[in-house]
Amino acid sequence: MELLKEIADWKSIRKYLDKPVEDEKITQCLQAARRAPSWENYQPWHFIVIANPEIKSLLTELSGGQKLIQKAPVVILVASEISCFSEDNARKQILELIEAISGKPANEDFVNKAFIDRPLMTPSKLGDEIVFARALEQLSYAISFMILQASHVGLGTCVVGAFGNKATKQMPEMYDKLIGELNLPDDILPLVLVTMGYPDENPKSRPRKDFNKICHREKFSNPWP
């Protein structure tokens, strides 16, 4: 099917058939996710595929009782490796990126002055809150690729962002329990859930804002096209 049509048909699915999802299809979704672009190619993402009912119960509570999590055959917990944003990693990634783009090794002094010392280029210079925002931003691209691949192979998904974690600072004790159950290192922060399964509903598409109200040519309010 044409990509734009697949995107136009895409919708959140919150009810699932009681039918297991094949590992192969989940793998395809994860492969799509890992191809997403990211800030200086940090790729700060980890994906934990969860089918265990006890962990799903914990995630349901951490999401304010959203039952779709318990009922989904699969929940993919998407987490960010925060140390990807460290200055050391930023330097390493930029050196690699410049070499890949220019075909020549980059000068480290230049990289420090042009990138590492500048908050515009190095999110960690702007503090933890900005690093969280940037981490979430990178995960969003990966999730977008993942959920499109899921619908392409007949699976329904729903992104669940209402989730007690270090960014939302809700339910800290339950969050610590989750960290323990999943053996997550300190550096790995769970930020988003994606529920997944074969659809057991075909809801009406939710509206989007008018194309003409949000797309502009050169200046705000000059219509595109």
Residues that bind ligand FMN (CB under 6 A): 11-12, 14, 66, 158-162, 206
Is residue 182 a contact partner of residue 56, using CB atoms and an 8 Å limit?
Answer: no
The CB-of-32 to ligand FMN minimum distance in angstroms stands at 17
Is residue 167 a contact partner of residue 112, using CB atoms and an 8 Å limit?
Answer: no
Q: CA-to-CA distance for 162 and 168, rounded, in angstroms? A: 8
The CB-of-8 to ligand FMN minimum distance in angstroms stands at 10
The CB-of-109 to ligand FMN minimum distance in angstroms stands at 40
The CB-of-113 to ligand FMN minimum distance in angstroms stands at 36
The CB-of-128 to ligand FMN minimum distance in angstroms stands at 20
Cβ nearer to ligand FMN, comparing 12 with 112:
12
The CB-of-103 to ligand FMN minimum distance in angstroms stands at 38
Cβ nearer to ligand FMN, comparing 14 with 91:
14
Supply the DSSP string of 4-67, one letter for each residue.
Answer: HHHHHH------B-S-PPPHHHHHHHHHHHHTS--GGG---EEEEEE--HHHHHHHHHHTTS-H
Cβ nearer to ligand FMN, comparing 169 with 219:
169
- Residue whose beta carbon is closest to ligand FMN: 161
Cβ nearer to ligand FMN, comparing 14 with 25:
14
Q: How many residues make up the chain in this entry?
A: 225
Cβ nearer to ligand FMN, comparing 67 with 217:
67
At 72, phi and psi to the nearest 5? -70, 135
Cβ nearer to ligand FMN, comparing 11 with 71:
11
Nearest CA to 162 among 79, 75, 60? 60
Residues 6+ apart with CB under 8 A from 73: 16, 18, 19, 20, 21, 51, 196, 197, 198
